[in-house]
Structure 1
Protein backbone atom coordinates (compact mmCIF):
# COMPACT_ATOMS: atom_id res chain seq x y z
CA UNK A 1 0.00 0.00 0.00
CA UNK A 2 1.14 3.50 -0.69
CA UNK A 3 1.46 5.19 2.67
CA UNK A 4 0.29 8.80 2.68
CA UNK A 5 0.77 11.36 5.26
CA UNK A 6 0.05 14.43 4.43
CA UNK A 7 -0.62 15.92 9.48
CA UNK A 8 3.65 10.84 30.42
CA UNK A 9 6.50 10.40 32.48
CA UNK A 10 9.96 10.77 31.10
CA UNK A 11 12.41 7.98 31.79
CA UNK A 12 16.06 8.81 32.18
CA UNK A 13 18.04 7.45 29.25
CA UNK A 14 21.71 8.01 28.58
CA UNK A 15 22.09 10.22 25.54
CA UNK A 16 25.15 9.94 23.38
CA UNK A 17 26.82 13.11 22.11
CA UNK A 18 25.63 14.81 18.96
CA UNK A 19 28.03 15.03 16.02
CA UNK A 20 27.75 17.27 13.00
CA UNK A 21 28.77 16.83 9.38
CA UNK A 22 29.47 20.11 7.61
CA UNK A 23 28.82 20.02 3.89
CA UNK A 24 31.15 21.33 1.22
CA UNK A 25 29.69 24.62 0.06
CA UNK A 26 29.55 25.47 -3.60
CA UNK A 27 31.31 28.60 -4.74
CA UNK A 28 27.94 30.31 -5.12
CA UNK A 29 27.03 29.78 -1.46
CA UNK A 30 30.35 30.74 0.09
CA UNK A 31 28.91 33.81 1.82
CA UNK A 32 26.41 31.65 3.72
CA UNK A 33 27.01 29.20 6.57
CA UNK A 34 27.41 25.60 5.42
CA UNK A 35 24.44 23.38 6.13
CA UNK A 36 24.94 20.82 8.87
CA UNK A 37 23.75 17.23 9.17
CA UNK A 38 23.35 16.02 12.75
CA UNK A 39 23.77 12.50 14.14
CA UNK A 40 22.85 11.46 17.67
CA UNK A 41 21.41 8.54 19.60
CA UNK A 42 19.32 7.63 22.61
CA UNK A 43 19.55 4.14 24.01
CA UNK A 44 19.77 1.81 21.01
CA UNK A 45 18.00 4.23 18.70
CA UNK A 46 20.02 6.30 16.21
CA UNK A 47 18.87 9.52 14.60
CA UNK A 48 19.98 11.73 11.71
CA UNK A 49 18.92 15.20 10.61
CA UNK A 50 19.80 15.91 6.98
CA UNK A 51 19.15 19.42 5.60
CA UNK A 52 18.50 20.23 1.94
CA UNK A 53 18.70 24.05 1.99
CA UNK A 54 21.79 24.18 -0.21
CA UNK A 55 20.22 21.88 -2.78
CA UNK A 56 17.25 24.23 -2.99
CA UNK A 57 19.55 27.24 -3.32
CA UNK A 58 21.49 25.50 -6.09
CA UNK A 59 18.17 25.17 -7.89
CA UNK A 60 17.22 28.84 -7.42
CA UNK A 61 20.63 29.90 -8.72
CA UNK A 62 20.37 27.61 -11.74
CA UNK A 63 16.98 29.13 -12.56
CA UNK A 64 18.41 32.64 -12.31
CA UNK A 65 21.06 31.74 -14.90
CA UNK A 66 18.27 30.98 -17.37
CA UNK A 67 19.45 27.51 -18.30
CA UNK A 68 18.17 25.79 -21.42
CA UNK A 69 16.63 23.21 -19.12
CA UNK A 70 13.07 23.64 -17.87
CA UNK A 71 12.46 24.51 -14.24
CA UNK A 72 11.09 20.99 -13.72
CA UNK A 73 14.29 19.49 -15.09
CA UNK A 74 16.46 21.82 -13.03
CA UNK A 75 14.53 20.97 -9.90
CA UNK A 76 14.83 17.27 -10.61
CA UNK A 77 18.59 17.65 -11.12
CA UNK A 78 19.38 20.02 -8.24
CA UNK A 79 16.91 18.86 -5.56
CA UNK A 80 15.21 15.54 -6.23
CA UNK A 81 18.28 13.70 -7.55
CA UNK A 82 20.54 14.55 -4.56
CA UNK A 83 17.62 13.83 -2.21
CA UNK A 84 17.29 10.35 -3.65
CA UNK A 85 21.05 9.87 -3.44
CA UNK A 86 21.00 10.80 0.26
CA UNK A 87 18.19 8.33 0.87
CA UNK A 88 20.09 5.56 -0.88
CA UNK A 89 23.31 6.45 0.95
CA UNK A 90 21.47 6.17 4.26
CA UNK A 91 19.92 2.80 3.32
CA UNK A 92 16.41 4.14 3.76
CA UNK A 93 13.30 2.52 2.36
CA UNK A 94 11.70 4.42 -0.52
CA UNK A 95 7.97 3.83 -0.80
CA UNK A 96 6.73 6.89 -2.65
CA UNK A 97 7.15 8.93 -5.79
CA UNK A 98 8.45 12.24 -4.45
CA UNK A 99 6.98 14.29 -7.28
CA UNK A 100 3.83 14.97 -5.26
CA UNK A 101 5.89 16.32 -2.33
CA UNK A 102 8.77 17.99 -4.17
CA UNK A 103 8.02 20.35 -7.03
CA UNK A 104 9.41 23.63 -8.38
CA UNK A 105 7.69 26.92 -7.68
CA UNK A 106 6.89 30.04 -9.63
CA UNK A 107 8.01 32.07 -6.60
CA UNK A 108 11.71 31.33 -7.07
CA UNK A 109 12.90 34.53 -5.37
CA UNK A 110 10.78 33.83 -2.29
CA UNK A 111 12.09 30.28 -2.23
CA UNK A 112 15.65 31.62 -2.32
CA UNK A 113 15.04 34.24 0.37
CA UNK A 114 13.30 31.73 2.62
CA UNK A 115 16.08 29.17 2.17
CA UNK A 116 18.72 31.73 3.14
CA UNK A 117 16.77 32.66 6.28
CA UNK A 118 16.37 29.02 7.27
CA UNK A 119 19.99 28.20 6.56
CA UNK A 120 21.02 31.00 8.90
CA UNK A 121 18.64 29.59 11.55
CA UNK A 122 19.66 25.98 11.04
CA UNK A 123 21.30 25.51 14.44
CA UNK A 124 18.05 26.38 16.24
CA UNK A 125 16.01 24.32 13.78
CA UNK A 126 18.25 21.27 14.19
CA UNK A 127 18.18 21.71 17.96
CA UNK A 128 14.36 21.72 18.00
CA UNK A 129 14.13 18.64 15.76
CA UNK A 130 16.71 16.81 17.85
CA UNK A 131 14.93 17.62 21.11
CA UNK A 132 11.61 16.48 19.72
CA UNK A 133 13.03 13.15 18.55
CA UNK A 134 14.65 12.57 21.93
CA UNK A 135 11.50 13.57 23.83
CA UNK A 136 9.33 11.40 21.59
CA UNK A 137 11.53 8.34 21.82
CA UNK A 138 11.22 8.43 25.62
CA UNK A 139 7.54 7.67 25.20
CA UNK A 140 7.90 5.15 22.37
CA UNK A 141 11.13 3.75 21.00
CA UNK A 142 11.65 2.04 17.69
CA UNK A 143 14.18 1.68 14.93
CA UNK A 144 16.59 4.27 13.60
CA UNK A 145 15.07 7.42 12.15
CA UNK A 146 16.21 10.06 9.67
CA UNK A 147 14.61 13.50 9.28
CA UNK A 148 15.15 15.49 6.11
CA UNK A 149 14.44 19.21 6.44
CA UNK A 150 14.11 21.72 3.63
CA UNK A 151 12.38 24.92 2.56
CA UNK A 152 8.67 24.65 1.82
CA UNK A 153 7.27 25.72 -1.51
CA UNK A 154 6.22 29.37 -0.89
CA UNK A 155 3.07 28.78 -2.94
CA UNK A 156 1.72 26.38 -0.34
CA UNK A 157 -0.87 27.80 2.10
CA UNK A 158 0.83 26.91 5.39
CA UNK A 159 -0.59 29.60 7.66
CA UNK A 160 -2.99 27.17 9.32
CA UNK A 161 -0.21 24.56 9.50
CA UNK A 162 2.07 26.88 11.49
CA UNK A 163 4.53 27.14 8.60
CA UNK A 164 5.12 23.38 8.37
CA UNK A 165 4.35 20.62 5.89
CA UNK A 166 5.51 17.29 7.27
CA UNK A 167 5.31 13.90 5.60
CA UNK A 168 6.18 10.49 6.99
CA UNK A 169 7.36 8.77 3.86
CA UNK A 170 8.15 5.44 5.52
CA UNK A 171 8.97 4.05 8.95
CA UNK A 172 12.59 5.00 8.20
CA UNK A 173 12.31 8.68 7.46
CA UNK A 174 10.37 11.90 7.69
CA UNK A 175 10.41 14.89 5.34
CA UNK A 176 9.88 18.25 7.04
CA UNK A 177 9.27 21.28 4.83
CA UNK A 178 9.17 24.64 6.59
CA UNK A 179 9.03 28.36 5.94
CA UNK A 180 10.53 31.16 8.05
CA UNK A 181 7.30 31.62 10.02
CA UNK A 182 7.88 28.30 11.80
CA UNK A 183 8.28 28.46 15.57
CA UNK A 184 10.27 26.14 17.79
CA UNK A 185 7.24 24.81 19.67
CA UNK A 186 5.26 24.02 16.54
CA UNK A 187 8.25 22.42 14.85
CA UNK A 188 8.79 20.15 17.86
CA UNK A 189 5.08 19.27 17.92
CA UNK A 190 5.08 18.42 14.20
CA UNK A 191 8.17 16.21 14.54
CA UNK A 192 6.55 14.36 17.45
CA UNK A 193 3.40 13.88 15.37
CA UNK A 194 5.37 12.45 12.44
CA UNK A 195 7.59 10.37 14.74
CA UNK A 196 4.48 8.60 16.01
CA UNK A 197 3.51 7.88 12.42
CA UNK A 198 6.85 6.12 11.91
CA UNK A 199 6.30 3.99 15.01
CA UNK A 200 2.76 3.21 13.89
CA UNK A 201 4.06 2.14 10.48
CA UNK A 202 6.82 0.08 12.06
CA UNK A 203 4.64 -1.78 14.56
CA UNK A 204 1.28 -1.88 12.83
CA UNK A 205 -0.44 -2.03 9.47
CA UNK A 206 -1.74 1.48 8.91
CA UNK A 207 -4.63 0.38 6.73
CA UNK A 208 -5.81 1.61 3.36
CA UNK A 209 -9.15 3.33 3.84
CA UNK A 210 -10.27 6.90 4.42
CA UNK A 211 -11.24 5.96 7.98
CA UNK A 212 -7.80 4.42 8.56
CA UNK A 213 -6.07 7.58 7.40
CA UNK A 214 -8.26 9.83 9.55
CA UNK A 215 -7.55 7.77 12.68
CA UNK A 216 -3.87 7.63 11.73
CA UNK A 217 -3.70 11.42 11.92
CA UNK A 218 -5.68 11.43 15.14
CA UNK A 219 -3.15 9.08 16.72
CA UNK A 220 -0.30 11.35 15.61
CA UNK A 221 -1.88 14.36 17.29
CA UNK A 222 -2.76 12.38 20.41
CA UNK A 223 0.89 11.41 20.77
CA UNK A 224 2.26 14.89 20.02
CA UNK A 225 -0.13 16.34 22.60
CA UNK A 226 1.18 13.89 25.21
CA UNK A 227 4.76 14.89 24.47
CA UNK A 228 3.99 18.63 24.27
CA UNK A 229 0.72 19.24 26.16
CA UNK A 230 1.15 23.02 26.20
CA UNK A 231 1.38 23.39 22.41
CA UNK A 232 -1.82 24.33 20.61
CA UNK A 233 -2.66 23.58 17.00
CA UNK A 234 -5.91 24.70 15.50
CA UNK A 235 -7.54 21.30 15.06
CA UNK A 236 -6.94 20.14 18.66
CA UNK A 237 -8.72 23.16 20.09
CA UNK A 238 -12.44 22.79 20.99
CA UNK A 239 -14.32 22.42 17.70
CA UNK A 240 -18.09 23.08 17.40
CA UNK A 241 -20.04 19.94 16.54
CA UNK A 242 -21.74 21.78 13.68
CA UNK A 243 -18.39 22.27 11.97
CA UNK A 244 -17.82 18.53 11.58
CA UNK A 245 -21.41 17.32 11.28
CA UNK A 246 -21.31 17.11 7.49
CA UNK A 247 -17.73 15.76 7.35
CA UNK A 248 -18.75 13.00 9.77
CA UNK A 249 -21.69 12.10 7.54
CA UNK A 250 -19.36 11.97 4.56
CA UNK A 251 -16.90 9.83 6.50
CA UNK A 252 -19.68 7.38 7.41
CA UNK A 253 -20.54 7.19 3.72
CA UNK A 254 -16.99 6.95 2.35
CA UNK A 255 -14.99 5.57 5.29
CA UNK A 256 -14.40 2.19 3.63
CA UNK A 257 -13.14 3.75 0.41
CA UNK A 258 -9.47 3.44 -0.55
CA UNK A 259 -9.72 6.32 -3.00
CA UNK A 260 -7.17 8.89 -1.90
CA UNK A 261 -8.93 11.58 -3.92
CA UNK A 262 -11.86 11.23 -1.52
CA UNK A 263 -9.50 11.54 1.43
CA UNK A 264 -8.04 14.70 -0.16
CA UNK A 265 -11.43 16.34 0.40
CA UNK A 266 -10.93 15.86 4.12
CA UNK A 267 -7.44 17.37 3.88
CA UNK A 268 -8.11 20.37 1.64
CA UNK A 269 -11.86 20.78 2.12
CA UNK A 270 -14.82 20.64 -0.23
CA UNK A 271 -17.22 23.57 -0.09
CA UNK A 272 -19.94 21.76 -2.02
CA UNK A 273 -20.02 19.09 0.71
CA UNK A 274 -19.46 21.57 3.55
CA UNK A 275 -16.18 19.89 4.47
CA UNK A 276 -13.68 22.37 5.98
CA UNK A 277 -9.96 22.25 5.34
CA UNK A 278 -8.09 19.89 7.72
CA UNK A 279 -11.29 18.00 8.57
CA UNK A 280 -9.19 14.83 8.71
CA UNK A 281 -7.21 16.24 11.65
CA UNK A 282 -10.31 17.60 13.37
CA UNK A 283 -12.22 14.32 13.16
CA UNK A 284 -9.16 12.20 13.94
CA UNK A 285 -8.56 14.21 17.08
CA UNK A 286 -12.24 14.02 18.09
CA UNK A 287 -12.21 10.23 17.69
CA UNK A 288 -9.04 9.79 19.74
CA UNK A 289 -10.20 12.09 22.54
CA UNK A 290 -13.50 10.20 22.71
CA UNK A 291 -11.57 6.92 22.78
CA UNK A 292 -9.48 8.15 25.72
CA UNK A 293 -12.59 9.14 27.68
CA UNK A 294 -13.94 5.61 27.36
CA UNK A 295 -10.55 3.92 27.78
CA UNK A 296 -8.75 5.97 30.42
CA UNK A 297 -6.24 3.24 31.26
CA UNK A 298 -5.19 2.53 27.67
CA UNK A 299 -1.41 2.60 27.30
CA UNK A 300 0.38 4.33 24.45
CA UNK A 301 1.66 1.05 23.05
CA UNK A 302 -1.88 -0.32 23.07
CA UNK A 303 -3.68 2.42 21.17
CA UNK A 304 -0.75 2.96 18.82
CA UNK A 305 -1.07 -0.55 17.44
CA UNK A 306 -4.85 -0.86 17.79
CA UNK A 307 -6.72 -1.19 14.51
CA UNK A 308 -8.53 1.99 13.51
CA UNK A 309 -11.92 0.28 13.46
CA UNK A 310 -11.38 -0.90 17.03
CA UNK A 311 -10.43 2.63 18.03
CA UNK A 312 -13.65 3.95 16.48
CA UNK A 313 -15.80 1.19 17.98
CA UNK A 314 -14.42 2.09 21.41
CA UNK A 315 -15.42 5.73 21.01
CA UNK A 316 -18.70 7.58 20.62
CA UNK A 317 -18.20 7.47 16.87
CA UNK A 318 -18.84 3.75 16.43
CA UNK A 319 -21.74 4.57 14.10
CA UNK A 320 -19.16 5.54 11.45
CA UNK A 321 -18.41 1.87 10.87
CA UNK A 322 -21.01 0.72 8.37
CA UNK A 323 -20.06 -2.98 8.28
Structure 2
Protein backbone atom coordinates (compact mmCIF):
# COMPACT_ATOMS: atom_id res chain seq x y z
CA UNK A 1 0.00 0.00 0.00
CA UNK A 2 0.90 3.66 0.12
CA UNK A 3 2.57 3.29 3.53
CA UNK A 4 5.02 0.73 2.17
CA UNK A 5 5.63 2.87 -0.90
CA UNK A 6 6.41 5.86 1.31
CA UNK A 7 8.77 3.82 3.48
CA UNK A 8 10.56 2.46 0.41
CA UNK A 9 10.99 5.94 -1.07
CA UNK A 10 12.20 7.44 2.21
CA UNK A 11 14.65 4.60 2.81
CA UNK A 12 15.96 4.75 -0.73
CA UNK A 13 16.71 8.47 -0.39
CA UNK A 14 18.78 7.77 2.74
CA UNK A 15 20.55 4.82 1.16
CA UNK A 16 21.40 6.60 -2.10
CA UNK A 17 22.76 9.56 -0.15
CA UNK A 18 25.18 7.20 1.60
CA UNK A 19 26.19 5.46 -1.64
CA UNK A 20 25.10 7.23 -4.83
CA UNK A 21 24.10 4.83 -7.57
CA UNK A 22 22.15 4.50 -10.79
CA UNK A 23 18.55 5.57 -11.35
CA UNK A 24 16.67 2.74 -9.69
CA UNK A 25 13.27 1.11 -9.93
CA UNK A 26 12.10 -0.85 -6.88
CA UNK A 27 9.39 -3.41 -7.55
CA UNK A 28 7.34 -4.17 -4.41
CA UNK A 29 5.88 -7.64 -4.88
CA UNK A 30 3.85 -10.12 -2.89
CA UNK A 31 6.20 -12.74 -1.48
CA UNK A 32 5.57 -16.46 -1.40
CA UNK A 33 4.21 -17.38 2.06
CA UNK A 34 5.43 -20.94 1.49
CA UNK A 35 9.04 -19.89 0.84
CA UNK A 36 11.07 -20.96 3.87
CA UNK A 37 13.75 -18.29 3.51
CA UNK A 38 11.30 -15.40 3.05
CA UNK A 39 9.19 -16.40 6.05
CA UNK A 40 12.14 -17.64 8.11
CA UNK A 41 15.48 -15.85 8.28
CA UNK A 42 14.33 -12.99 6.06
CA UNK A 43 11.40 -12.21 8.35
CA UNK A 44 9.02 -11.49 5.49
CA UNK A 45 11.32 -9.28 3.39
CA UNK A 46 13.29 -10.97 0.61
CA UNK A 47 15.25 -8.69 -1.70
CA UNK A 48 16.70 -9.47 -5.11
CA UNK A 49 18.85 -7.35 -7.41
CA UNK A 50 17.93 -8.13 -11.00
CA UNK A 51 20.66 -5.91 -12.42
CA UNK A 52 21.99 -2.41 -11.91
CA UNK A 53 19.09 -0.15 -10.96
CA UNK A 54 16.60 -3.01 -10.62
CA UNK A 55 15.55 -4.13 -7.14
CA UNK A 56 12.75 -6.53 -6.28
CA UNK A 57 11.28 -6.66 -2.77
CA UNK A 58 9.19 -9.76 -2.08
CA UNK A 59 7.08 -9.08 1.00
CA UNK A 60 5.10 -11.35 3.31
CA UNK A 61 3.45 -9.48 6.21
CA UNK A 62 4.89 -11.03 9.37
CA UNK A 63 5.61 -9.62 12.82
CA UNK A 64 8.19 -6.84 12.45
CA UNK A 65 8.46 -7.16 8.67
CA UNK A 66 8.16 -3.42 7.98
CA UNK A 67 11.24 -2.70 10.10
CA UNK A 68 13.31 -5.02 7.91
CA UNK A 69 12.61 -3.19 4.66
CA UNK A 70 15.31 -0.45 4.92
CA UNK A 71 18.19 -2.86 5.63
CA UNK A 72 17.05 -5.21 2.87
CA UNK A 73 16.95 -2.28 0.45
CA UNK A 74 20.41 -1.13 1.52
CA UNK A 75 21.78 -4.62 0.88
CA UNK A 76 20.26 -4.76 -2.59
CA UNK A 77 21.25 -1.18 -3.43
CA UNK A 78 24.86 -2.05 -2.71
CA UNK A 79 24.57 -4.94 -5.17
CA UNK A 80 22.98 -2.59 -7.71
CA UNK A 81 25.84 -0.10 -7.39
CA UNK A 82 28.45 -2.86 -7.56
CA UNK A 83 26.88 -4.30 -10.68
CA UNK A 84 26.77 -0.89 -12.32
CA UNK A 85 30.38 0.00 -11.56
CA UNK A 86 32.38 -3.18 -11.21
CA UNK A 87 30.57 -5.96 -13.05
CA UNK A 88 32.80 -7.37 -15.78
CA UNK A 89 30.37 -9.68 -17.53
CA UNK A 90 31.46 -12.71 -15.54
CA UNK A 91 28.79 -12.66 -12.84
CA UNK A 92 30.67 -13.06 -9.56
CA UNK A 93 33.75 -14.48 -11.33
CA UNK A 94 34.69 -16.80 -8.46
CA UNK A 95 33.73 -17.82 -4.94
CA UNK A 96 35.96 -15.18 -3.33
CA UNK A 97 34.27 -12.42 -5.34
CA UNK A 98 30.90 -13.74 -4.23
CA UNK A 99 31.96 -13.78 -0.57
CA UNK A 100 33.22 -10.21 -0.79
CA UNK A 101 30.20 -8.91 -2.70
CA UNK A 102 27.75 -10.32 -0.15
CA UNK A 103 29.93 -9.32 2.79
CA UNK A 104 30.11 -5.74 1.54
CA UNK A 105 26.34 -5.57 1.03
CA UNK A 106 25.74 -6.90 4.55
CA UNK A 107 28.24 -4.43 6.01
CA UNK A 108 26.71 -1.47 4.16
CA UNK A 109 23.24 -2.43 5.39
CA UNK A 110 24.56 -2.85 8.93
CA UNK A 111 26.29 0.53 8.94
CA UNK A 112 23.11 2.32 7.86
CA UNK A 113 20.67 0.22 9.87
CA UNK A 114 22.54 -1.36 12.79
CA UNK A 115 19.37 -2.73 14.37
CA UNK A 116 18.22 -4.44 11.18
CA UNK A 117 18.50 -8.23 11.67
CA UNK A 118 20.97 -9.99 9.37
CA UNK A 119 21.04 -13.54 10.78
CA UNK A 120 22.97 -14.87 7.76
CA UNK A 121 25.98 -12.93 9.09
CA UNK A 122 25.84 -15.04 12.27
CA UNK A 123 25.40 -18.50 10.80
CA UNK A 124 28.55 -20.03 12.30
CA UNK A 125 30.13 -20.73 15.66
CA UNK A 126 33.84 -19.93 15.92
CA UNK A 127 34.74 -23.59 15.39
CA UNK A 128 32.39 -23.89 12.43
CA UNK A 129 33.82 -20.74 10.89
CA UNK A 130 37.38 -22.01 11.12
CA UNK A 131 36.34 -25.31 9.56
CA UNK A 132 34.30 -23.62 6.84
CA UNK A 133 37.18 -21.31 5.95
CA UNK A 134 39.67 -24.16 5.72
CA UNK A 135 37.29 -25.99 3.42
CA UNK A 136 36.63 -22.88 1.34
CA UNK A 137 40.23 -21.82 0.80
CA UNK A 138 41.04 -24.39 -1.92
CA UNK A 139 37.89 -23.29 -3.76
CA UNK A 140 38.19 -19.50 -3.52
CA UNK A 141 38.97 -19.37 -7.23
CA UNK A 142 36.16 -21.75 -8.16
CA UNK A 143 33.76 -20.48 -10.81
CA UNK A 144 31.36 -23.42 -10.58
CA UNK A 145 27.81 -22.32 -9.75
CA UNK A 146 27.39 -25.53 -7.76
CA UNK A 147 30.43 -24.85 -5.57
CA UNK A 148 29.46 -21.23 -4.97
CA UNK A 149 25.84 -22.04 -4.18
CA UNK A 150 26.85 -24.80 -1.76
CA UNK A 151 29.05 -22.50 0.31
CA UNK A 152 26.68 -19.53 0.12
CA UNK A 153 23.30 -21.17 0.61
CA UNK A 154 23.98 -24.68 1.91
CA UNK A 155 25.00 -28.03 0.54
CA UNK A 156 28.47 -28.63 1.97
CA UNK A 157 28.41 -31.66 4.26
CA UNK A 158 28.75 -30.69 7.89
CA UNK A 159 28.41 -26.94 7.34
CA UNK A 160 25.28 -24.89 7.96
CA UNK A 161 23.60 -22.77 5.28
CA UNK A 162 24.82 -19.23 4.65
CA UNK A 163 28.37 -19.84 5.85
CA UNK A 164 29.61 -17.85 2.86
CA UNK A 165 27.60 -14.82 3.96
CA UNK A 166 29.03 -14.99 7.48
CA UNK A 167 32.60 -15.37 6.27
CA UNK A 168 32.23 -12.64 3.66
CA UNK A 169 30.88 -10.29 6.30
CA UNK A 170 33.72 -11.15 8.67
CA UNK A 171 36.31 -10.49 5.96
CA UNK A 172 34.90 -6.98 5.50
CA UNK A 173 34.68 -6.54 9.27
CA UNK A 174 38.35 -7.54 9.60
CA UNK A 175 39.33 -5.17 6.79
CA UNK A 176 37.55 -2.27 8.49
CA UNK A 177 39.26 -3.07 11.80
CA UNK A 178 42.58 -2.72 9.98
CA UNK A 179 41.39 0.33 8.01
CA UNK A 180 38.92 2.19 10.24
CA UNK A 181 38.90 5.30 8.07
CA UNK A 182 38.06 3.45 4.86
CA UNK A 183 34.91 4.72 3.17
CA UNK A 184 32.23 2.65 1.51
CA UNK A 185 33.05 3.94 -1.98
CA UNK A 186 36.63 2.80 -1.56
CA UNK A 187 36.09 -0.71 -0.24
CA UNK A 188 33.27 -1.33 -2.68
CA UNK A 189 35.69 -0.68 -5.53
CA UNK A 190 38.52 -2.82 -4.14
CA UNK A 191 39.78 -5.97 -5.79
CA UNK A 192 38.54 -8.97 -3.82
CA UNK A 193 41.99 -10.54 -3.44
CA UNK A 194 43.53 -7.27 -2.26
CA UNK A 195 40.74 -6.77 0.24
CA UNK A 196 41.19 -10.26 1.66
CA UNK A 197 44.95 -9.79 2.03
CA UNK A 198 44.58 -6.39 3.67
CA UNK A 199 41.93 -7.73 6.04
CA UNK A 200 44.29 -10.28 7.56
CA UNK A 201 41.31 -12.63 7.86
CA UNK A 202 42.14 -16.30 8.25
CA UNK A 203 39.04 -17.88 9.69
CA UNK A 204 38.40 -15.74 12.75
CA UNK A 205 37.86 -12.07 13.51
CA UNK A 206 39.77 -10.94 16.58
CA UNK A 207 37.42 -9.05 18.87
- Which residue in the other structure is 1:164 paired with? 45
1:255 lines up with 2:140 in the alignment:
yes
| Partner of residue 295 from structure 1, selected from 168, 179, 190 | 179
Superimposed CA distance per residue, residues 256-287 of structure 1 (whole angstroms, 9 cap, x where no aligned partner): 01111111112332362x22111121111111
| Residue 176 (structure 1) aligns with | 57
Q: Give, in angstroms, the shift of residue 238 of structure 1.
A: 9.0
* TM-fit CA distance, 1:151: 1.6
Q: What pairs up with 1:242-281 in 2 under 5 angstroms?
A: 242-270=127-155, 272=157, 274-281=158-165
Contact between 1:267 and 1:278, CA under 8 Å: does it hold in 2?
yes
TM-score (norm 1): 0.57
Q: Counterparts of 1:162 and 1:316 in 2: how far apart (Å)?
A: 33
Report Cα offsets for 1:65-106 as digits up to 9, x if no partner: xxxxxxxxxxxxxxxxxxxxxxxxxxxxxxxxxxxxxxxxxx
Structure (1/2) with the larger helix percentage: 2
Determine if contact 2:123/2:163 at 8 Å carries over to the other structure.
Answer: no
How many residues of Structure 1 are paired with residues of Structure 2 in the alignment?
A: 197
Q: Distance in 1 between matches of 2:117 and 2:5?
A: 21
The CA deviation at 1:243 is 2.4
**Distance in 1 of aligned mates of 2:110 and 2:55:** 19
Q: What do residues 221-278 of structure 1 show as CA deviations (whole Å, max 9, x unaligned)?
A: 1111111122232134595311222221222021101111111112332362x22111
Answer whether contact 1:265 1:275 (CA < 8 A) is retained: no
Q: CA deviation at 1:170?
A: 0.7
Is the Cα–Cα contact under 8 Å of residues 41 and 120 in structure 2 kept in the other structure? no
How far is 1:123 from its partner?
Answer: 2.1
Higher relative contact order, structure no. (Cα contacts within 8 Å, ≥ 6 residues apart): 2
Consecutive unaligned residues of structure 1, counting only runs of 5 or more, are: 1-121
1:133-166 C-alpha deviation (Å, 9 max, x unpaired): 1111111112200111212223311211222221
Give the deviation of 1:318 after TM superposition. 6.0
Contact 2:124 2:160 in 1 (8 A): no
**Is the Cα–Cα contact under 8 Å of residues 266 and 279 in structure 1 kept in the other structure?**
yes
Matched, 1:187 2:75: no
CA distance in 2, matches of 1:143, 1:235: 27
Asked whether the 8 Å contact 1:244–1:283 carries over to 2, the reply is yes
- Per the normalisation by structure 2, the TM-score is 0.87
- 1:284 equivalent in structure 2: 168
CA–CA distance in structure 1, aligned partners of residues 22 and 200 of structure 2: 34
The structure with the largest alpha-carbon Rg is 1
Q: Secondary structure at the match of 1:297?
A: coil
Aligned match for 1:224, one of 109, 127, 131: 109
Give the direction of change, closer, same or farther, for the CA distance of 1:143–1:271 in structure 2 (3 Å limit): closer
- In structure 2, how many angstroms separate the alpha carbons of the residues matched to 1:244 and 1:124? 40
